[in-house]
Amino acid sequence: IAGFELTMVDRGSEVLRKRVIVGKPFRQTPVFSDQIEYLVFNPTWTVPRTIMLQDQLPQILKDPDYLARLNISVYRGWGADRVRIDPAMIDWSALGKNNFPYQLVQEPGPQNALGQVKFMLPNQYDVYLHDTPGRGLFAKSERTFSSGCIRVEQPFDLAERLLAGSPNWSRAR
């Protein structure tokens, strides 16, 4: 985290090194250890509650086209019982910490905050590695721009390494 790097080691040898973007000082990436269990290509992004309230709601209030421009759908409820809602039918100014019965879900696409691939390592912090549409941020020397998850530079290089030897998988696929 402190070095803003991901290092992949195979049998004691470094096989891949990539720059990463980690959590902002007020939303730091936690230190933990876990294993990647699976990958998701072209993921949706279900916006975490903290980000919905602190980041997204102020943007929605300032810009009526914000949700449509970023391809974000609004749902009332959770899981199989959730229902898609027209954002124009919501009084956004009446919502807050104790009154936000919605889920915001960004659909896959070029603006999706998770980019084109997400590396899942289920953990207590809900932190994972993922791509990003903001690739220019990797050029910065200090890369604390995320809300806790880890954005990986050139994530398809990592995906290709992780899926090496898997039948029916190639970089092209």
Query: Which residue in the list 118, 130, 143, 151 is annotated as catalytic?
Result: 130
Among the options 60, 149, 150, 159, which is catalytic? Answer: 149
Active site residue 43: no
Q: Which helix (H) or strand (E) holds 58?
A: helix 57-62
Residue in 66, 140, 75 with CA at minimum distance from that of residue 104: 75
Is residue 88 helix, strand or coil?
helix
The answer to whether residue 36 is catalytic is no
Sheet holding 45-46, edge to edge: 45-46, 102-106, 72-76, 83-85
Task: Kindly list the catalytic residues.
Answer: 130, 149
